[in-house]
């Protein structure tokens, strides 16, 4: 009953210039519930012409939006923060239906998503500048900050609300208009957010939202149009690389939040229970479908058997099922391809000598379920050590020395986040400094926080989202030289 109601309540069109419109030719596509494999609803499928119309609306709205007072923009964000909390039950259910994560996690994501609006409401009214005497005297330097201009925002399916608000929060705070394109697997959360933003006072054209099944054909002309000034993309490294090349032509500002291959390092002096809980948090959040997911778990040889035993015991106690059911901890994977990928990676690791401590095979039946799985003795040349598993599989690999594990952890093109568990302060700081990642969790399995700078190095991306630097990505610095 509630499920049909929350899906029916969402507008299914394209949101352009403050109005809901159909896609060219009335094209639509299906949104599927991954827990059942059944279609939830259909939504408008944007064409390249629709993309152009959304871009034109963002460009037309830019001057007035930049001129809106910072306080007014902050008030929109604050009201949107409040509305997200007021509607958390319906929005969480909607997210669970389209994406699969358990309701408790969906509620957590709505709260996390809302926090970006609250954080950037604060940043909107603290955009700074400067006034300075030139070193030689005489002239003065006036430094001010202006919105970059119309932005293109592209998000993945794994955090359907938070990946959007993490971009929209700073864009709105800075005075940038935007076109946002959610992933076709999970467009409903972003579509629902559009009406909420209007209710919060957002003017027409300031944010436009188009879903499409033809991302390449719709997005590339927008990037090459010369009308947008910035791309902010969250998704895989492969697609990010391609978009960065497209952005080179017009020298667009780019923020890229890309893939990860997080090492999770447990030293023998760690509190093992804390490390097990940290591993479950880092591995099982979002069923392992997170860029921050622990992807390679290195455990010092003296404690690997005990760590594996405790982790397998806790992982096997997690309840798998549709995210809408009470008590479920682990929902389905996003689609059949994701399930197939996890099965293939596990089979590869086992064929190379890994042992299964728990889980290890899909139950079959409806939906794309895979059980929480712990593998031990995973060799470093297993395919899962080299790519994102994006599923509930924890691969344990032994190590002996600090030097050896640092080298292994850094032996990847990715550099988003790493996790270190140790009770030795000097070792903790030494290892945290040596790890080539943009973020490090020390004795904790979750690092995401809207008030902290989130982002990676190497092939995990460019720029940071959140924190006080998050708004910088949407601002240009202008210097005005004054002859006195």
Q: Considering the rule CB under 6 A, would residue 186 count as an interface residue with ligand NAP? A: no
What is the H or E stretch that residue 98 is in?
helix 88-99
DSSP string, 167-208: HHHHHHHHT--EEEE--TTS-HHHHHHHHHHHHTTPPTTSEE
Residue 452 CB, shortest distance to ligand NAP, in Å, is 13
- Residues 13, 20: contact at Cβ < 8 Å? yes
> Toward ligand NAP, which CB reaches closer, 174 or 218?
218
Q: Which of residues 405-424 bind ligand NAP (CB under 6 A)?
A: 416
Indicate if 109 belongs to the active site: no
> Toward ligand NAP, which CB reaches closer, 156 or 359?
156
Q: Which of residues 272-331 bind ligand NAP (CB under 6 A)?
A: 291
Question: Cα(119)–Cα(232) distance, rounded to whole angstroms?
Answer: 18
* Near ligand NAP by CB under 6 A: residue from 156, 331, 359, 450: 156
End-to-end alpha-carbon separation of the chain, Å? 71
Residue 352 CB, shortest distance to ligand NAP, in Å, is 23
Q: Considering the rule CB under 6 A, would residue 234 count as an interface residue with ligand NAP? A: yes
* Near ligand NAP by CB under 6 A: residue from 100, 461, 466, 470: 461
Residue 128 CB, shortest distance to ligand NAP, in Å, is 26
Q: Which of residues 17-56 bind ligand NAP (CB under 6 A)?
A: none
> Toward ligand NAP, which CB reaches closer, 33 or 237?
237
Question: Cα(395)–Cα(311) distance, rounded to whole angstroms?
Answer: 11
Residue nearest to ligand NAP (CB): 235
User: 3-state class of 270 per DSSP?
Assistant: coil
Instruction: Count other Cβ atoms within 10 Å, centred on residue 93.
Output: 20
Phi, psi of 28, rounded to the nearest 5 degrees: -135, 165
Tokens 């080299």 -> residue: 386
- Could you tell me which residues are beta bridge partners of residue 282? none
Q: Which of residues 352-391 bind ligand NAP (CB under 6 A)?
A: 388
Question: Cα(449)–Cα(3) distance, rounded to whole angstroms?
Answer: 30
Residues 6+ apart with CB under 8 A from 231: 151, 152, 154, 223, 243, 247, 252, 253, 254, 255
Instruction: Tell me the window of 74-82, 180-188, 271-279, 347-355 that interacts with ligand NAP (CB under 6 A).
Output: 180-188
Active-site amino acid positions: 257
Residue ranges that bind ligand NAP, judged by CB under 6 A: 154-159, 163, 181, 183-184, 215-216, 219, 234-236, 239, 242-243, 257-260, 291, 388, 416, 456, 461
């Amino acid at each position: 009953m509630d499920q049909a109601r929350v899906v029916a309540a969402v507008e299914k069109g394209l949101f352009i210039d403050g109005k809901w419109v159909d896609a060219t030719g009335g094209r639509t596509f299906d949104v599927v519930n991954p827990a059942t494999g059944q279609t939830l609803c259909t939504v408008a499928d944007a064409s390249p012409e629709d993309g152009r119309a959304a871009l034109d609306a963002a460009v037309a709205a830019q001057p007035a939006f930049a001129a809106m007072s910072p306080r007014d923009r902050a008030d929109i964000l604050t009201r949107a923060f409040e509305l997200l909390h007021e509607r958390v039950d319906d929005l969480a259910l909607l997210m669970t239906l389209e994406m699969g994560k358990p309701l408790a996690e969906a509620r957590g994501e709505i709260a996390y998503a809302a926090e970006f609006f609250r954080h950037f409401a604060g940043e909107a009214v603290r955009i700074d500048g400067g006034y300075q005497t030139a070193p030689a005297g005489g002239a003065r330097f006036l430094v001010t900050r202006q919105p970059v201009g119309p932005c293109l925002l592209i998000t993945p399916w794994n955090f359907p609300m938070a990946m959007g608000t993490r971009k929209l929060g700073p864009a709105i705070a800075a005075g940038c208009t935007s076109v946002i394109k959610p992933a076709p697997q999970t467009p409903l959360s972003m579509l629902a957010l559009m009406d909420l933003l209007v209710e919060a006072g957002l003017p027409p054209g300031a944010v436009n939202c188009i879903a499409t099944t033809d991302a390449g054909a719709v997005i590339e002309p927008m990037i090459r149009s010369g009308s947008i000034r910035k791309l902010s993309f969250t998704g895989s490294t492969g697609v990010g690389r391609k978009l960065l090349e497209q952005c080179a032509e017009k020298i667009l500002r780019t923020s890229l939040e890309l893939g990860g291959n997080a090492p999770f390092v447990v030293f023998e002096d760690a509190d093992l229970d804390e490390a097990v809980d940290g591993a479950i948090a880092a591995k099982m959040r979002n069923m392992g479908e997170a860029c921050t997911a622990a992807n390679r778990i290195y455990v010092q040889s003296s404690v690997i058997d005990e760590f594996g035993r405790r982790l397998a015991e806790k992982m096997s106690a997690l309840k798998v099922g549709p995210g809408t059911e009470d008590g479920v901890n682990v929902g389905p994977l996003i689609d059949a391809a994701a399930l197939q990928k996890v099965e293939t990676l596990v089979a590869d690791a086992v064929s190379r000598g890994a042992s299964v401590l728990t889980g290890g095979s899909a139950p079959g039946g409806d939906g794309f379920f895979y059980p929480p799985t712990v593998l031990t003795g995973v060799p470093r040349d297993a395919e899962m050590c080299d790519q994102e598993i994006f599923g509930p599989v924890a691969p344990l690999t032994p190590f002996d020395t600090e030097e050896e594990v640092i080298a292994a952890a850094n032996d990847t093109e990715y550099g988003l986040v790493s996790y270190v568990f140790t009770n030795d302060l000097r070792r903790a700081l030494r290892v945290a400094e040596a790890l080539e990642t943009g973020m490090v969790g020390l004795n904790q399995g979750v690092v995401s926080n809207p008030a902290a700078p989130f982002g990676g190095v190497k092939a995990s991306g460019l720029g940071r989202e959140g924190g006080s630097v998050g708004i910088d990505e949407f601002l240009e610095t202008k210097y005005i030289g004054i002859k006195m």
